[in-house]
Structure 1
Amino acid sequence: MSRFSCFPSLAGLALAAVLGGCAMTPTAGTAPSRLDTVQKSTTLRVCSPGDYKPFAFQQADAPFEGIDVDLVTAFAGSLGAKPVWVKTTWANLLPDLVADKCDIAVGGVSVTTERQKRAFFSAPYMVNGKTPIARCTDVAKYQTVAAIDQPQTRVIFNPGGSNERFARANFKRAKMTMHGENVTIFDEILANRADVFVTESAEAITQQRLKPGLCAINPEKPLQYGEMGWMLPRDDVAFKAYVDQWLHLSQASGDMQRVMDRWLK
């Protein structure tokens, strides 16, 4: 009997959609797709730093909330599962996913080729480039990378993610300060202990609303193009196919836009 056949599980259907025909059934020693294990366990393990408004944020002793939280909760529901949030850091987000501490990683994750060497990404659900945020009185001073990269400018950044990579790659003359808490990094600018932080435009827009005195600088014209996606275990083609299709249908139905409007407007 052939070891190749069509099979009716969601994992098989998703993989067949990718391959355009019959999918290969798991054989002895082959790890099952998370598409099936999540349904069986009724639990979706979700890694997130939980410090990034408006995507995923957790106050002390409170549930996670934000764009990705609402979307992932609905996504898990489509599999008959509930999300279980695994708190991590930006530096450990990818290692934790690779170590199978979670099934998916979310929370405002930028799609990068470095991350994609070790993980899959979902189809991007938002274009969200790098944008400076500064005191509103200083907006005119920090219009470009060159204008920011001056010896007198105090650039602050959070460790372990694309914000740190952007800062280190683009600012060679400015005074650089690493700040370990993304939640309080904006207060450092308000308190005049730093001048500029470069982050994704959605976060810059959110924080200017939450922190009077701070202004996102040209968020409609980011300093660098960027996309947001969900990070997925590498080589689980069936799971990625299902995630991508779910995101596509969420966008097409308007459900995703309603979530975006709730948090961005």
Structure 2
Amino acid sequence: MFRRNLLAFLCALSMLPVSASFAKSPTIEDGVLLVGTDSSFAPFEFLAEDGKNFTGFDMDLIRAIGKELGYKVVVQNMGFDATVPALRTGIVDAVIAGMTINEKRKKFVDFSDPYYTSGLIIMVPSSDTTTKSIKDLEGKKIGAQVGTTGMFRAEKVPGAKVVTFANAAETFLEFQNGGVDAVIQDFPVVAYYVAQGGNKGRLVGPKMEAEEYGIAVTKGNKELVAQINKALASLKKSGEFQRIYKKWFGEEN
């Protein structure tokens, strides 16, 4: 589910000059880090209840990185497909938006060290103490969001009846009502649900089909990559990274 529309991304990118090259943003020299994001990706980035500020795991993390480096972080909201073009044209200095590190994107941007490993996870009722892995779901009723990698993975479980729903909220509601034995869904979405009080469920087994997220910067900006990596390492050493992670996902990374 986390794989964004690569075709749209490439189309947007193709409209930029091929000769676009890195030029150090003067905002960095002024102590301001302009950061692009897509605020429709809870719990990583979304609009706060006040309707003005951006909140979420990514937002807390990038602000902590900015503080560590002595930068004032200014967040600019945009569509996900616009984030890489915004980097290439100098509109922003960095992008944090639940962006998966992959070889295709590496052709156009540089990435920080991974800061989050995503993937699929199984959720079963807290009262279910026997389910230990996906093999234990054979012959059971599994809930999943239609068209997602969770649905495709559930369909591979021998003998399982896969019940699909339009969105995660409907999937979780059916789970709460006892209509399915388990749910296979994106790990951060499930972890956030549990952290927000979905205490009828527990997570089972390791994450499946792991993907790593990174902070993207303009291609060739090795200095900023090094600064971000240094800040990430410092936050992990101090325990601040773990505190932010636990705030949003209810368990330590």
| Aligned-pair CA distance for 1:32 | 0.9
Deviations 1:80-130 (A, max 9, x none): 323224154xxxx2x221220643332544434454454432101244542
For the aligned residue pairs, the C-alpha RMSD in angstroms reads: 3.9
1:1-265 equivalence runs, <5 A: 30-34=21-25, 36-40=26-30, 42-53=32-43, 55-60=44-49, 61-77=51-67, 78-88=69-79, 93=80, 95-100=81-86, 102-113=92-103, 115-136=105-126, 143-144=133-134, 147=137, 153-156=142-145, 164=148, 166-167=149-150, 170-172=153-155, 174-179=162-167, 186-187=172-173, 189-190=175-176, 196-200=183-187, 202-212=188-198, 214-218=200-204, 221-263=206-248, 264=250
Q: 1:142 to 1:186 in 2, by over 3 A?
A: farther
Q: 1:225 to 1:37 in 2, by over 3 A?
A: same
Aligned mates of 1:113, 1:133 — CA distance in 2 = 31
Q: 1:110 to 1:192 in 2, by over 3 A?
A: farther
Is there any run of 5+ residues in structure 1 with no aligned partner, and where?
Answer: 1-28
Contact 1:144 1:223 in 2 (8 A): no
Aligned mates of 2:104, 2:200 — CA distance in 1 = 31
Please, what TM-score do these two structures have when normalized by structure 1?
0.62
| Aligned-pair CA distance for 1:246 | 2.0
Aligned mates of 2:54, 2:174 — CA distance in 1 = 24
Aligned mates of 2:234, 2:77 — CA distance in 1 = 26
Q: Percent identity?
A: 16
> Which one-letter code corresponds to 2:22 in the other structure?
A
| Aligned-pair CA distance for 1:137 | 6.0
Aligned mates of 1:258, 1:74 — CA distance in 2 = 11
Q: 1:102 to 1:230 in 2, by over 3 A?
A: same
Aligned mates of 2:135, 2:99 — CA distance in 1 = 22
Contact 1:39 1:80 in 2 (8 A): no
Contact 2:94 2:217 in 1 (8 A): yes
Contact 2:125 2:200 in 1 (8 A): yes
Q: 1:186 to 1:59 in 2, by over 3 A?
A: farther
| Aligned-pair CA distance for 1:156 | 0.8
SS of 2:145 mapped into structure 1? strand
- Structure in which a larger fraction of residues adopt strand: 2
Aligned mates of 1:138, 1:115 — CA distance in 2 = 41
> How many residue pairs end up in the alignment?
220
Q: 1:142 to 1:106 in 2, by over 3 A?
A: farther
Deviations 1:30-50 (A, max 9, x none): 53134x443348351331334
| Aligned-pair CA distance for 1:249 | 2.4
Q: 1:213 to 1:43 in 2, by over 3 A?
A: closer
Deviations 1:224-247 (A, max 9, x none): 334332233434333222222221
Contact 2:112 2:228 in 1 (8 A): yes
Is there any run of 5+ residues in structure 2 with no aligned partner, and where?
Answer: 1-19, 157-161
| Aligned-pair CA distance for 1:142 | 8.8
Aligned mates of 1:191, 1:45 — CA distance in 2 = 41
Aligned mates of 1:183, 1:135 — CA distance in 2 = 16
